[in-house]
Amino acid sequence: MLRALAAGAIGAAARARAAARPNIVLMVADDLGSGDLSSYGCPDIRTPNVDSIGKRGVRFSRFYSNAPDCSPTRSALLTGRYQHRIGGLECAIGVGNVGRYDDAEWLAKRGELGLPLSEITMPRIFKDAGYDTACFGKWHLGYGPKFSPNRHGFDEYFGIIGGNADYFTHREDDGTPVLYHNERPVERKGYTTDLIAEEAIRWVKQRRQNPFLLYVTFTAPHTPIQDPDGFDPATGTAPVRQGDRRIYAKMVEREDARVGDILSQLQAMGAADNTIVIYHSDNGGDPNGRNDPLRGRKGTVWEGGIRVPCLMRWPGVLPEGTTVSQVGVTMDLLPTLLAAAGVPAPPGRKFDGANLLPVLTGGQQPFPRTLFWRAKRGDRVRKAARHGDMKLVIDEGEELHDLAANELERKNLLPGAEKIAAGLRAKLAEWEEEVMAPRLRPFRTTPG
């Protein structure tokens, strides 16, 4: 009897601690350019709802994605670590679960291309801490059930299991249906952005006692470029308008409207003041997007390929309307959110990302970072290293840039600054050795 009472008291205390913790709504845009939001200088797209997150909180001016495309950044986001430690996820997984470079091809042949369950992920950590968890939207971390969001700690999943799909038929280019609810394919009518938002709102409405982690991963504005209002009953979809900036703008604005609906739901249920809201892009924009004035685009490790918009609000904790100059990167979000929620990291887990909360709250000055990128696709390997303000880019040659003096990467300091470049090369080589994935060792014995 005493043991039962003690257990009940411990359970009640745990529930009380969890109830005091903030909710988390983490929203990710797909291929949104660094200059595609009004608050980041976009002249032709209106994004008042997304911009409101920064107005009620902070807006990063130097936030990076972990990679210049989809799957790598998402794996880093959910694990708080460089995606290279996992292996096979340095490039977006191809349509139909195809590996796009040698390591990924080797894993795909063995049925291992995806985020393995051996990784300790954000939803699993928060679920163990008493949070309700859900993911609505693009997954892109493995097609098979063994890689599903549910098995990584999400109580519920609805969305596109692969990298992209027709916005109305929800099928990939080869006709494969990829819209799933939990681990089963489903058929739904509607524009993907709307379906994702509506499922997220439905789920949030059901939250009662526990704090929640909501991961909303829009597929927009990734290709295909399709008008949200352009559905043609005769074809069952909308025409694809690659390169049509007007349609692209409508896609972003529809996403912005649905972000507004999610924010309104939080307000209506009295949860807004105790909810951390984050919105960011998974990488730079493709040719449909706008990365101006930065150099490069999705797929490259120039600033335009990896510098992304990121806005965060937490009423009463983060100062309103602040622009943050701190260099941040996708993998920082997990340790930052754990610190905000008072949730300890799993024993023995070391994150590569940093806890940015002290800087965001104004309790600490911005600090310098050393960050690395390596992206593979086919036979091509692109690399970059940033140490303080100096950035080395290796991509069909080498360039060295001082981002404090020239963030547009227009003035190559080589060959005149060879000593600095040599130091960055050495740091990059040391990092490559340190993050080499154990599961790739049967395939390769050296990094690269």
Among 392, 388, 382, smallest CA distance to 417 is for: 392
Average pLDDT over residues 203-227: 97
* Chain segment 19-40, per-residue pLDDT in tens: 589 999 999 999 999 999 999 9
Question: Which tens digit of pLDDT belongs to each residue from 188-207?
Answer: 999 999 999 999 999 999 99
The terminus-to-terminus CA distance of the chain in angstroms comes to 61
CA torsion angle 329 331 333 339 (round to 10) = -120
pLDDT tens track for 256-265: 999 999 999 9
Condensed to tens digits (0 to 9), the pLDDT of residues 97-113 reads: 999 999 999 999 999 99
Phi, psi of 195, rounded to the nearest 5 degrees: -60, -45
Each residue of 287-338: pLDDT tens digit? Answer: 999 999 999 999 999 999 999 999 999 999 999 999 999 999 999 999 999 9
132: three-class secondary structure by DSSP: strand
State the architecture of 371-440 in CATH terms.
2-Layer Sandwich (3.30)
Q: How confident is the model at residue 447 (pLDDT cuts 50, 70, 90)?
A: confident
Burial (CB count <10 Å: 0-12, 13-18, 19+), residue 438: exposed
Q: What is the DSSP string of 262-286?
A: HHHHHHHTT-GGGEEEEEEESS---
Residue range(s) occupied by CATH 3.40.720.10 in the chain: 22-362
Q: What is the DSSP letter of 370?
A: E
Q: What pLDDT shows up at residue 40?
A: 98
Tokens of 144: 């098979």
Beta strands across the sheet bearing 390-394: 370-377, 380-387, 390-394, 398-402
Name residue, tokens 């909308």. Answer: 238
Per-residue pLDDT at 16 exceeds 80? no
Q: What is the pLDDT of residue 23?
A: 98
Percent of the chain at pLDDT > 70 equals 96
What length does the chain have? 448
Q: What is the rounded average pLDDT of the residues 403-421?
A: 97
pLDDT, residue 133, reads: 98
For the record, the structure tokens of 426 come out as: 């050495």
Q: What is the mean pLDDT of residues 140-156?
A: 97
Please give the positions annotated as active site. Answer: 70, 140
Mean pLDDT throughout 418-437? Answer: 98
Mean pLDDT of the chain: 95
Do residues 382 and 301 make contact, with C-beta atoms less than 8 angstroms apart? yes
Per DSSP, what are the bridge partners of residue 447? Answer: none
Q: How far apart are CA 27 and CA 30, in angstroms?
A: 10
| Residue 294, amino acid | L
Contact 135, 115 (CB under 8 A): no
Given strand 212-217, what is the order of strands in its sheet? 184-185, 179-181, 156-160, 132-137, 212-217, 23-29, 275-281, 310-313, 58-60, 322-324
From-to residues of CATH 3.30.1120 in the chain: 371-440
pLDDT tens profile 157-180: 999 999 999 999 999 998 999 999
Q: Please tell me which residue, 15 or 349, carries the higher pLDDT value.
A: 349
Give residue 17's pLDDT band: very low, low, confident or very high (50, 70, 90). Answer: very low
Interatomic CA distance for residues 332 and 46, integer angstroms: 28
- Residue 184: helix, strand or coil by DSSP? strand
Nearest partner of 213 among 78, 23, 21, judged by Cα: 23
Q: What is the pLDDT of residue 13?
A: 45
Res. 87: pLDDT tops 70: yes
Homologous superfamily (CATH) for 22-362: Alkaline Phosphatase, subunit A (3.40.720.10)
pLDDT for 20: 81
Residue 448: pLDDT band (50, 70, 90) is confident
Q: How far is the C-alpha of 357 from the C-alpha of 19, rounded, in Å?
A: 21
Say which residues have a Cβ less than 8 Å from residue 205's Cβ, sequence separation at least 6.
Answer: 265, 269
